Structure 1
Amino acid sequence: MENQKPYTILVLMNATPQWLTLNRDERSDFVEKELTPIFVRVSKTVTVQLFDSEYFHASVSDFMIVSTTDLDDYKLFIELLRDTKVYGAPYFEIKDIIVGQENLFEDFNERFKKEKQ
């Protein structure tokens, strides 16, 4: 089987007043106790990076870059997040989810070249 190119998924979020009214210790505690176990649970196939963007964007205060070759494990990751206050309070409004694969056009160019032969 050909190596699966990883999916890169951008999860664009905006912090809600419920999140912003937590003090910094409460936020850190939430990440440590609620989110880190989820990140660890899916870590064999899913990597998650957290970014702040509130200084540069009016409607996206934070975003995640998720990388995986296993979309089922990514879906598990999102379902587990949905069971937390990230979605439930909600602490964050999910503004958009964007999925892509790096330089995928090159794969299709190669495929089309082979089909023309």
Structure 2
Amino acid sequence: MTFEAKLTAFMLIKATPKWLSLTVPQRFEAFETEILPVLREKVDGVRSRFYDTEFYSVRVSDVWVWEARDHESYQLLVDALRETPFWDHYFEVVDVLVGVEDAYAKNNGREPVATV
């Protein structure tokens, strides 16, 4: 089954002292038991990638990139995340940037301008 993202959200987040106080095994366990089950139960049509940025930024520690099939799927994702300790307990959501890939080109009947 192919996945065509209609929108991409770049969620800029910063780890809280609560998250940082956990050991690495505790962090993985918390993610796998407290966050992922809620997402699996309530969200469909969304995929993600996670980027560590703490090496290069003091404003955010991570960027979670979400690709969604439609706006409703993304909205359900945010609602689900807010029901978990991810939101404002383990991480502070610093900013969310939502965009549509190559929208300018598509809206003007042009091929995307991109590098390989």
- Report the TM-score range of the alignment, normalised by the length of the smaller protein: 0.7 to 0.9
Native 8 Å contact 1:39 1:48 kept in 2: no
Structure-1 residue corresponding to 2:68: 68
CA displacement 1:19-78 (0-9 Å, x = unmatched): 101111111101111222244342x41001111110011111011100012211211111
Native 8 Å contact 2:19 2:91 kept in 1: yes
In 2: Cα distance, 1:96 partner to 1:79 partner: 16
Structure-1 residue corresponding to 2:95: 96
Structure-2 residue corresponding to 1:40: 40
Change in CA separation of 1:51 and 1:106 when aligned onto 2, cut-off 3 Å = same
**Residue-pair matches, total:** 106
Change in CA separation of 1:83 and 1:5 when aligned onto 2, cut-off 3 Å = closer
Q: Work out whether 1:27 is the aligned partner of 2:24.
A: no
- C-alpha root-mean-square deviation of aligned residues, in Å? 1.8
Structure-1 residue corresponding to 2:106: 107
Percent of aligned pairs with the same amino acid: 32
- More moved, 101-110 vs 58-67: 101-110
Which has the larger share of helix?
1
TM-score when scaled to structure 1?
Answer: 0.81
Give the CA deviation at 1:5.
5.7
Native 8 Å contact 2:5 2:67 kept in 1: no
| Unpaired runs of at least 5, structure 2 | 111-116
TM-score when scaled to structure 2?
Answer: 0.82
Give the CA deviation at 1:80.
1.1
Native 8 Å contact 1:38 1:77 kept in 2: no
* Greater Rg by CA: 1
Question: Which letter maps to 2:82?
Answer: R
Equivalent position SS for 1:12:
strand
Equivalent position SS for 2:58:
coil
In 2: Cα distance, 1:46 partner to 1:60 partner: 23
